[in-house]
Chain A
Amino acid sequence: DAGVIQSPRHEVTEMGQEVTLRCKPISGHNSLFWYRQTMMRGLELLIYFNNNVPIDDSGMPEDRFSAKMPNASFSTLKIQPSEPRDSAVYFCASSNSADFYTDTQYFGPGTRLTVL
């Protein structure tokens, strides 16, 4: 299995530009999660989907952030417009159910975003 695939691995952009991060979950998994990791705030859950439907987006910082999952094999996280404080590593993870109690989440390698 290829694991969770994220692209790009690194993104450098200027303030005000639109940024799109992409994720392909593990085939057969029905839950997908977007996290953000920074030194100051650690690892934060932004949003998660179950069967392509957004279940909880309470972690999305503000309206500049949006996420979609048009099908079971693809998701995007978009930031428009981007700001320097959005600089972080963004992880996508997937699992084969949405039971946080017991299920293992499989993480992608992350996208390191730098907003200048």
Chain B
Amino acid sequence: GNSVTQMEGPVTLSEEAFLTINCTYTATGYPSLFWYVQYPGEGLQLLLKATKADDKGSNKGFEATYRKETTSFHLEKGSVQVSDSAVYFCALGGATNKLIFGTGTLLAVQP
């Protein structure tokens, strides 16, 4: 069945460091891929998405490219800020008609 695997956290970085959070998926057909972010004490909110292969989603300095050949959707940011500290979820929308979430990766950015 469809599934999402993302790197385990926590990921601890200094401010202005480069961020990569890995996400790979298994799916039948041609799913859409999402990154959601959850700030402390809040619900999840969409960060970016890509609906077909080679699409790049971007928002707030974050980027992720839908790579069908490697079944990946890695999240990147060139220079993180303390305010980026949150839990990041990779998710897949596909033929099962359910949004499948990864386990989440906690990012802690230190000043």
Q: A residues within 8 Å of B by Cβ?
A: 4, 33, 42-43, 45, 56, 91, 93, 98-110
Question: B15 CB to closest chain A CB, in angstroms?
Answer: 27
Main secondary structure of the interface of A (DSSP, over half): loop
Instruction: Mark B residues whose CB is within 8 Å of A.
Output: 31-32, 36, 41-46, 49, 51, 89, 93-94, 96-99, 101-104
Q: Which residue of A lies closest to B99 (CB)?
A: A100
12 further contact pairs, Cβ within 8 A, besides A108-B43, A109-B42: A33-B99, A42-B104, A56-B98, A91-B44, A100-B32, A100-B97, A101-B31, A101-B32, A103-B93, A104-B49, A105-B44, A110-B42
Q: Are B93 and A107 in contact (CB under 8 A)?
A: no
Contacts of B97 in A (CB 8 A): 56, 98, 100
Residue of B31, B43, B98, B102 contacting most chain A CB atoms (<10 Å) = B43
Do A110 and B43 contact each other (CB < 8 Å), given the known contacts A42-B101, A102-B49, A105-B99?
yes
Query: What's the Cα separation between A95 and B32 when bound, in Å?
Result: 16
4 closest cross-chain pairs (CB), A and B: A107-B43, A100-B93, A43-B101, A107-B44
In angstroms, how far is the closest chain B Cβ from the Cβ of A99? Answer: 8
Given contacts A107-B44, A108-B43, A101 and B49 within 8 Å (CB-CB): no
Complexed CA–CA distance, A106 and B34 (Å): 13
Nearest residue in B to A104 (C-beta to C-beta)? B46
Q: Could you say which residues of chain A place their CB within 8 Å of the CB of B99?
A: 33, 45, 100, 105
